[in-house]
């Protein structure tokens, strides 16, 4: 395909190094969203675009809730990606425009997104930046399909032996293991789903803290509360249980997307659309309208390369199943892996402050140790009694 086969129209959006335009295919008259990426602006970061294309090619036509890439091509100056056209806006818009908002609405949204994430994981893909800004509605109707988009930070995990090591995503949605440089995988998306569900219910994330270090510290220790009470007292225990299971600190004990889909809270929800209001529980909108209006603003993703100390960290964190590899061999494989799949950072990202992360990890480890000692002491007191 070539750019001459499309007639471009209005600008739908802009990024730091790209512009998205309405485009109509000259032969089929089908409308698309055409992302035009300036090669000069992404010089040195071309692998980020190649990775996004590879991810979208793998998922093409495979799931109704995954953004479709219909075409891609390049000219001397630009790279063109031709996507499904979603006219319903991001997740923020329909929610903000509602007059009523029920827990059943949240259930349907989460179940649909989780079904899409289950498909991604089955295809060996980790999204790494699930948040309201990256979920779109295909149309403006009440029965619009929900679409997961923006795969710029997504990665293919070709082998179960490889773990990702990059600090990236949107801070309030990032899982604790991302910060510890021990390797992470698909479980980070399930954590993000838990944050997502919390956010959709009350209008803010469980880790909505201005200080980057304090936010990371809260994530590392799983320190959150179901507040404000005027909202959460109207929410089912099943919803809180679902969120709690997704926000388990240890990724090994976190449910997979497939298991999470079978949770009691999601059993009755239809998949694929937001239903017309069918309230089973009190209307949440009067309590969250202001919060949604304030907090549903676009946040840039964070990005930095977490270089792990191979002498201080188990090699299994990088290459599970290859305990015979030397530190130097692991280091070379790690460097190649970074070069191939994580080269450069997206131009519209904000770097994570590594000093903040280090300070947060140190404080979080202290808090965790104190909690463990408290648990041990309580057990000892019980035995003494």
Q: How far is CA 106 from CA 187, 233, 278, 375, in A?
A: 21, 16, 12, 35
- Find the catalytic residue in 129, 133, 150, 189: 129
Residue 179 has pLDDT above 80, yes or no: yes
Domain 2-86 carries which CATH code? Answer: 3.30.200.20
With the CA atoms of 149, 150, 156 and 161 taken in that order, what torsion angle do they form, in degrees rounded to the nearest 10? -100
Closest CA to 106 of 343, 277, 263: 277
Domain with CATH 1.10.510.10 in the chain: 89-319
CATH topology of domain 89-319: Transferase(Phosphotransferase); domain 1 (1.10.510)
Q: How much is the pLDDT for 61? A: 83
**Residue linked to tokens 């569900």:** 197
**Residue linked to tokens 């993703």:** 301
User: Are 121 and 200 contacting, i.e. CB atoms less than 8 angstroms apart?
Assistant: no
pLDDT single digits (tens) 321-366 = 444 444 455 445 444 444 444 444 444 444 445 555 556 666 666 6
Domain with CATH 3.30.200.20 in the chain: 2-86
Q: Which residues are annotated as a binding site for ATP?
A: 35
Q: Which residues are annotated as a binding site?
A: 35
Active site residue 322: no
Residue 83 has pLDDT above 70, yes or no: yes
H/E stretch holding 296 reads none
**Residue linked to tokens 């976190």:** 254
Mean predicted lDDT score pLDDT of the chain: 76
Maximum distance among all Cα pairs of the chain, rounded to whole angstroms: 82
pLDDT single digits (tens) 220-275 = 999 999 998 989 998 999 999 999 999 999 999 999 999 999 999 998 655 544 44
Q: How much is the pLDDT for 100? A: 81
């Amino acid at each position: 395909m070539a750019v001459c086969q499309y007639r471009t129209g209005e600008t739908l959006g802009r990024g730091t190094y790209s512009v998205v335009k309405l485009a109509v295919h000259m032969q089929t008259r089908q409308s698309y969203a055409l992302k035009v990426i300036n090669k000069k602006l992404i010089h040195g970061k071309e692998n980020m675009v190649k990775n996004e294309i590879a991810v979208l090619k793998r998922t093409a036509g495979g799931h109704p809730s995954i953004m479709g890439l219909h075409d891609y091509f390049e000219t001397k100056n630009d790279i063109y990606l031709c996507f499904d056209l979603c006219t319903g806006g991001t997740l923020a818009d329909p929610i903000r425009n509602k007059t009523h908002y029920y827990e059943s609405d949240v259930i349907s949204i989460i179940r649909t997104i989780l079904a899409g994430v289950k498909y991604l994981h089955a295809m060996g893909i980790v999204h790494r930046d699930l948040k309201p800004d990256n979920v779109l509605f295909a149309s403006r109707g009440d029965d619009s399909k929900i679409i997961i988009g923006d795969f710029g930070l997504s990665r293919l995990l070709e082998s179960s032996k490889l773990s990702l090591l990059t600090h990236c995503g949107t801070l309030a949605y990032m899982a604790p293991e991302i910060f510890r440089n021990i390797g992470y995988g698909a479980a980070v998306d399930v954590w993000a789903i838990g944050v997502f569900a919390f956010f959709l219910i009350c209008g803010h994330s469980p880790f909505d803290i201005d200080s980057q270090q304090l936010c990371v510290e809260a994530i590392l220790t799983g320190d959150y509360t179901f507040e404000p009470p005027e909202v959460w007292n109207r929410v089912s225990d099943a919803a809180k249980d679902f969120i709690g299971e997704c926000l388990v600190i240890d990724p090994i004990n976190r449910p997979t997307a497939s298991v999470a889909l079978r949770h009691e809270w999601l059993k009755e929800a239809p998949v694929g659309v937001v239903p017309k209001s069918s309230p089973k529980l009190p209307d949440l909108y009067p309590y969250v309208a202001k919060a949604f209006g304030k907090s549903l603003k676009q946040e840039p993703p964070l990005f930095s390369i977490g270089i792990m100390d191979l002498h201080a960290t188990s090699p299994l964190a990088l290459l599970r199943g290859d305990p015979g590899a030397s530190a130097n061999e692991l280091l070379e494989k790690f460097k190649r892996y970074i070069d191939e799949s994580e080269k450069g950072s997206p131009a519209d990202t904000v770097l994570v402050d590594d000093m903040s992360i280090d300070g947060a990890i140190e404080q979080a480890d202290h808090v965790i140790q104190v909690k463990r000692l408290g648990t041990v002491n309580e057990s000892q007191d019980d035995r003494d009694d």
